[in-house]
Structure 1
Amino acid sequence: MFSFAHQMEHGDSSESFSNTGGSEMGSSYIMESGFFIKSFVATIFVAALVTIGLLFITLLIALIVMLQSCESRSSGVIQLRKISDDYSFCKVFALHAELNALEADEFPKNCKTLAIQYVKEGQYLRDLNLTMSVADDYYFSLAPEKDGLDVVLIDVDDVLSNPCTHQLNNRLGQHEENELTEEAKHLKHMLVLGLYKKLQASGWSLILITRKPEKQWNAIQESLIVAGYEGWSSLIMRSDDEMQMENWEYFSRRREHLQNQGFRITSVISSQLDALTGPCLGKRNFKLANPIFYRLKEQTESILLLQ
């Protein structure tokens, strides 16, 4: 009995030991499995963090690039708006300056810069060509009477150079401005001369007028011939008693005198408003483009110069 009972107890103990051992092995497996699952999750979590970090950096870089692009674009828009505003202001100021005969030092510096760009970038030439095109169309629709009394009055100060002023600009060191002044005058000279030749061929009487005094007659006549202006009907220059007159008054007086002589003024062609102001103007007058002007006083006269 004892042996059997002892064997039974021993069996129970063995079975109990086996159950205990099996239980310990199972717990170890669970712990090991749990540790493996946690490592995998951690790996995925770290990878997700890295991916999110990369996405965040990429997004941050994209935002910085976009902000820089927007800032650059905004800066460009502001700059273009400023240039446009400056151009509008200078265009109005140029008209104001001509109406009031302002001096050179009263012209804003930024307008002088725009005037240089206006000539250098070709807009001045385009504006001149457009004016000439309008004038061509107008004269093409007309025919002068055979009596020779239909006249076109042309302001030749627009196309005649002034050596004294050329030297003055060089003394002031305004080399670039002086070159552009000469270029502007050359462009205007070529286009006005072309129109002059067409009008002459169509039978119009051409009267040239200048602000210069009569005592310079020989020099002005020679300059006109050299420049290609030949065959004109008359050259009007200031008499001594007209030297103290305002330019607009001088032009008005001379136009009135022409009308009193029986001439029919068809047009006045000039870039300066003083020649296009007052009574006795033509039926259709033409204002040539004028980028900027300076009013320089000499001993005997005030001369308007194109810049």
Structure 2
Amino acid sequence: MATTIFHPCNAALPLPMHLLRPRTGSHGQKMEGISCPSWRLAVETNNLRDWKTIPVLCEGYISNYMLVKLYRQYSKAVTNQAILYAKSLNLVGDGKEVWVFDVDETVLSNVPYFSQHGFGPELFHSVAFNAWVTSKAPMLPESHKLYMTLHFFSENQNSIFLTGRSESQREVTGANLRKAGYIKWEKLILKGEEDVGKPVVVYKSEKRRELEKEGYKIVGNIGDQWSDIRGSGIGNRTFKLPDPMYYLS
């Protein structure tokens, strides 16, 4: 069974995404006395931490959540607030005022991959995922609208992509970003050899501090993981997109 999600721009781009082993009636399933919607809320509010995979009983619920309406609606609610904030800023216009964007599940969506292979952070290290990142991930339309607003409503706000992908994936990541509609950026920061093994929050804090030392002012910071927007150098304001598919500390 498949569902199609349409790009909200004038030229609709169908994105076929296949449901992950959907179960009928999964919305009301219980797990140790906790419903699947309650589990997702605990995840999204960062009250449930360091989990590795979606509970088996909730796979169907999360699949439906990601592929039908709620995920896109909640993403839109976040980015609408980010757009209002971006438009309200009175910027110096020196080219040093930047937004920091995470990449996976922020500007690019791996939902088609996960819907076919399952969920869990270990899948990031699989041969299949390494093949997937060769320019295949579509844009997350809501985040693309924010990106376009920054570059065409207020030309003084530049974008920096800060990702946990490795330096060896720079070429394919850049190509994927351009193919998905992110046509320019100030910097694309990826993990080097010296960053391997660092928790996400440590790695991204260090990179943001380096940006500040270079004279950049982070006016906005958006990501799908709490580790994207915690730590030091987080910027003037942070925005957390929904992502109940996996957890990165």
Choose the corresponding residue for 2:140, options 184, 189, 203: 189
Paired residue type of 2:151: Q
* Structure 1 residue 258 displacement after superposition: 0.8
Map of 2:209 onto structure 1? 256
* 1:6-55 residue CA offsets vs partner (Å, 9 max, x unmatched): xxxxxxxxxxxxxxxxxxxxxxxxxxxxxxxxxxxxxxxxxxxxxxxxxx
2:97 to 150, 154, 158: 150
- Give matches, 1:20-169, under 5 Å: 85-93=35-43, 95-96=45-46, 99-100=49-50, 102-104=51-53, 107-158=54-105, 159-160=107-108, 169=117
Equivalent pair of 2:96/2:158 in contact (CA under 8 Å) = yes
Question: Counterpart amino acid of 1:279?
Answer: S
- 1:235 match: secondary structure: strand
Write the mapping of 1:173-252 to structure 2, written as runs, cut at 5 A: 186=138, 189-201=140-152, 202-203=154-155, 204-252=157-205
Specify the alignment match of 2:246 in structure 1. 294
In structure 2, how many angstroms separate the alpha carbons of the residues matched to 1:218 and 1:116? 31
Whichever structure has more strand as a proportion of its residues is: 2
Alignment coverage as a number of residue pairs? 199
Question: Aligned equivalents of 1:195 and 1:293: distance in 2?
Answer: 22
2:99 partner SS? strand
Taking only aligned residues, the RMSD between alpha carbons, in angstroms, comes to 3.1
Instruction: Return the structure number with greater helix share.
Output: 1
Deviation of 1:206 after TM superposition, in Å, equals 0.8
Q: 1:81 to 1:115 in 2, by over 3 A?
A: closer
The TM-score with structure 2 as length reference comes to 0.70
Structure with greater Cα Rg: 1
Task: Give me the whole-angstrom Cα distance separating, in 2, the residues matched to 1:161 and 1:89.
Answer: 22
Aligned-pair distance for 1:85? 4.2
Report if the CA contact (8 A) 1:124-1:289 is conserved: yes
1:168 shift after superposition: 7.5
* TM-score, with structure 1 as normaliser: 0.58
User: How do 1:279-290 and structure 2 match up within 5 A?
Assistant: 279-290=232-243
Percent identity of equivalent pairs: 26
CA offsets 1:241-297 (integer angstroms, 9 cap, x no match): 10121111100000111111111111111111111110111111111122x2236xx
Give the Cα–Cα distance (whole angstroms) in 1 for the partners of residues 41 and 246 of structure 2.
Answer: 15
| Structure 1 stretches lacking a partner, 5+ long | 1-78, 171-184, 296-303
